[in-house]
Amino acid sequence: MSPRAASRLESLGFAHVYDYVAGKADWASFGLPIEGTWHSGTRVGAHASTDVPACGPADRMFKVRERVRAAGWDTCFVTNERGVVLGRLGRTALNRDDDISVEEAMTLGPSTVRPSLELDKAVERMQKQNLTGLPVTRSDGVLVGVLRREDAERALPSSSTA
Amino acid sequence: MPTPIDRDQVQQLLEQGAQLVEVLPEDEYEYEHLPGAIDIPLKTLDAESVRALDRGRPVIVYCYDYQ
């Protein structure tokens, strides 16, 4: 639709017309602000905890384990130098006492959601799948944070939660 | 010919004073739109409706995705 609109504007005499072909779906999935009835505050991105620990695949588990515990978390995301999520260390990996590399201990390819996902849909998913949280990544795979179920349920109107 | 641009280029052009136009129907615009965008649905895009736009500044149009 936007290519037709852009051409129409040119035919109406506008000289500098640009077409953002990926549109608002791309904008929102990257975690950028959205206005309207379903503004950014109603989306997952606004309620994600961004202080979740992250580490690199070459890090050693004994150091990561200490850091994650000190921060009060029971999970850690494994990211590359650009912040793209490669894997996750869950309770099982963090409770091991051997000193291996993060790459050897991590679970690959955790499921993630976009910051643009509506909060009520995220809560519904966590309740159905009995999850305590959902990792949130931008459309380029960069970690945003974790949406904790308790935070998400608290943020919804009471009539929306199970 | 209109220039296709990506998200980063949108942000750069906005910093330079570009105008944002959503071309979806009004209800979809009300539901969600980019900050600062105005709505001129494609079906109403004519000489009258574009009077709100400044011809001296770049115009960025967008819809939902690649539709």
| CA A76 – CA A85 distance, rounded (Å) | 10
| Residue A33 confidence class, pLDDT cut points 50, 70, 90 | very high
Q: Can you tell me the ipTM of this complex?
A: 0.96
Its CATH class, for the domain covering A40-156, is alpha beta
Mutation test of the interface with chain A: which of B11, B28, B34, choosing the one with the most A Cβ atoms within 10 A? Answer: B34
- Within the 3-32 window of chain B, which residues sit less than 8 Å (CB to CB) from chain A? 3-7, 9-10, 13, 18, 21-24, 29-32
Q: Check CB contact under 8 Å for B33 and A8.
A: no
A26 contacts on B by Cβ (under 8 Å): 7, 65
Identify the H or E element spanning A14: none
Phi, psi of A42 (to 5 degrees): -95, 5
Average pLDDT value for residue range B35-45: 96
Mind listing the pLDDT tens digit for each residue in A46-73? 999 999 999 999 999 999 999 999 999 9
A140 touches chain B (CB under 8 A): no
A19 touches chain B (CB under 8 A): yes
Domain boundaries, given as residue ranges, for chain A: 40-156
Is the pLDDT assigned to residue B67 strictly greater than 80?
A: no
Average pLDDT value for residue range A89-117: 92
Q: Check CB contact under 8 Å for B42 and A8.
A: yes
Mean pLDDT of chain A: 93
pLDDT value, residue A82 = 96
Whole-model pTM over 0.95: no
Is the pLDDT assigned to residue A139 strictly greater than 60?
A: yes
